[in-house]
Amino acid sequence: MTDALEILLNTSLWAAVLRIATPLIFGVLGEVLCERAGVLNLGIEGIMTMGAMAGWLTVFLGGDLWTGLAVAAASGALIGLLHAMLTVPLGLSQHVSGLGITLFASALSYYLYRLIVVVGETPPTIVAFQPVPIPLLSEIPFLGAILFTQTPPTYLALIAVAVLAYVLARTPLGLAIRMAGESPQAVEAQGLDPIAIRIGAVVVGSALMGVGGAFLTTAAFNSFFPEMVQGRGWICIALVVFSGWRPGKALLGALLFAFFDAYQLRLQTVIEGVPYQIFLMAPYVLSIVALIAVSRRAEVPEALMAPYRRGER
């Protein structure tokens, strides 16, 4: 018992929480942006996979890590554009399109990887992002090792939360995005184009998802293999509901989830006799429970999943 509690005092646990949370933060922010504008993006799992592959591949082929992230964002954006075109101007089922996108993007990323990389016994690796301690702040006891000694993409994630929260709440663009998710008719009646707004939101949101995937292959680990996203994308979908479609709460949800994941990993070494699968199951079970708990009070954007067709009688 005390072993289980002792883990909580370990800075490495909390540093891991932030590290594990990072791809989730990017993923949830991206999905929040899509859904706030009224589009459900079930392609997130595939987009994160594509981002993971594209980011890693760029570095493997000689690019630097930041270029890798940029390529991951671009690949996410492109796939997001496909989903946006299918669901917004064409108004196709957001559920089915998203599923198709996930299947497609995953398959495409595995195919391209296999095509370009010669696979031997073990998958090839790259030199990943290293933790960058922030001068002065990283010397603070306990907090310094946790919050201020992370890899650059983690800092980026935290900044992204603040930026998205600000844009949504305080800028004209943010108001337009929120309105597109509540009433595209209202958007049109005020002279704006709800279709363009929705497409833009999905593209940018998908770019964020791509970066989240790339974190897995350029910071958390340093190689790519099929199924490495492991359902994180789907967890992000659950976290979006849990976060009430707000960036600030999304950060909280991601951290909470990451805590349980990190804790579960360390508990395995301390608690004996329990099959490791039980520990691995815990995060998924937790997500379902959290979803049920919050569903009653969920304030869903009113026009989420309702396609908007101009001039249709």
Partner 1 sequence: MSAVLELRNITKRFGPLLANDDVSLSLAQGEILALLGENGAGKTTLMNILFGHYAADAGEVRVHGQPLPPGKPRAAIDVGVGMVHQHFTLAGNLTVLENVMLGSEPMRRLRSARGAARARLMTISQRFGLPVNPDVKVSRLSVGERQRVEILKALYRDARILILDEPTAVLAKPEAEQLFETLRGMTEGGLSLIFISHKLQEVMAASDRVAVLRGGKMVAERTTSNTSPEELAELMVGRRVDRPMRHAHAIGGPVLTAEDITVTKDGETRLEDASFRVHAGEILGIVGVSGNGQATLGALLSGLVHPASGKLTLEGRDVAHLGPRGLIRAGVARVPEDRHAEGVVGEMSVWENAVLERLRSASFSARGFVRQRAARAHAAALIQRFDVRGATPETRVRLLSGGNMQKLILGRCLATGPKFILANQPTRGLDEGAIAAVHEELLAARAEGAAILLITEELDEALALSDRLQAIVKGRLSRPVDVEAADARRIGLMMAGMWGQDDAA
Partner 2 sequence: MMRLERRENVPLTVVAAAPLAAILAALVLAAGLIAAAGVNPLAAYGQMLKGALGSRLSVTEMLTRATPLILTGLAAAVAFRARLWNIGGEGQFFVGALVTAWIGHSLGLPGPLGIAVLMVCGMAAGALLLAGPAFVKLRFGVDEVVTTLLLNFIVILFVGMMIEGPLRDPLAFGWPQSVPVDKAYRLPDLIAGTRLHVGLLVAIAAAGVVWLVLARTVFGVETRAAGLNARAAAFAGISLPRTIMGVALLSGALAGLAGSIEVMGVTGGVTTTMSPGFGYAGIVVAMLAALHPAGVVAAAVFVATVFVGADAMSRATGVPSFIADVIVALSLLTMLVALLFTTYRIRR
- Binds 302, which of partner 2, partner 1, none (CB < 5 to 8 A, cut-off by type)? partner 1
Which residue from 203, 167, 213, 247 is spatially nearest to 68, judged by alpha carbons?
A: 213
Site residues for partner 1, 186-205, by CB under 8 A, read 186-192
Q: How far is the CB of 277 from partner 1 (least distance, A)?
A: 42
Is 297 near partner 1 (CB under 8 A)? no
- Binds 297, which of partner 2, partner 1, none (CB < 5 to 8 A, cut-off by type)? none
The one segment of 83-91, 98-106, 181-189, 254-262 that binds partner 1 by CB under 8 A? 181-189
- Binds 190, which of partner 1, partner 2, none (CB < 5 to 8 A, cut-off by type)? partner 1
Is 171 near partner 1 (CB under 8 A)? yes
Reduced 3-state DSSP string for the chain: CHHHHHHHHCHHHHHHHHHHHHHHHHHHHHHHHHHHCCCCCCCHHHHHHHHHHHHHHHHHCCCCHHHHHHHHHHHHHHHHHHHHHHHCCCCCCHHHHHHHHHHHHHHHHHHHHHHHCCCCCCCCCCCCCCCEECCCHHHCCCHHHHHCEECHHHHHHHHHHHHHHHHHHHCHHHHHHHHHHHCHHHHHHCCCCHHHHHHHHHHHHHHHHHHHHHHHHHHHCCCCCCCCCCCHHHHHHHHHHHCCCCHHHHHHHHHHHHHHHHHHHHHHHHCCCCCHHHHHHHHHHHHHHHHHHHHCCCCCCCCCCCCCCCCCC
List all residues 6 or more positions away from 9 whose beta carbon is below 8 Å from its beta carbon. none
- Binds 289, which of partner 2, partner 1, none (CB < 5 to 8 A, cut-off by type)? none
Is 288 near partner 1 (CB under 8 A)? no
Site residues for partner 2, 273-302, by CB under 8 A, read 275, 277-278, 280-281, 284-285, 287-288, 291-292, 295-296, 298
CB-based burial of residue 69 (10 Å sphere; 0-12 exposed, 13-18 middle, 19+ buried)?
A: buried
12 or 190: CB nearest partner 1: 190
Site string for partner 1, 57-96 (x = CB under 8 A): ----------------------------------------
Site residues for partner 2, 67-126, by CB under 8 A, read 82, 86, 90-93, 95-97, 99-101, 103-104, 106-108, 110-111, 114-115
- Binds 301, which of partner 1, partner 2, none (CB < 5 to 8 A, cut-off by type)? partner 1
The one segment of 16-24, 128-136, 174-182, 232-240 that binds partner 1 by CB under 8 A? 174-182
Q: How far is the CB of 297 from partner 1 (least distance, A)?
A: 13
Query: Which parts of this chain interact with partner 1 (CB under 8 A)?
Result: 170-173, 175-176, 178-179, 182-183, 185-192, 299, 301-302, 310-311, 313
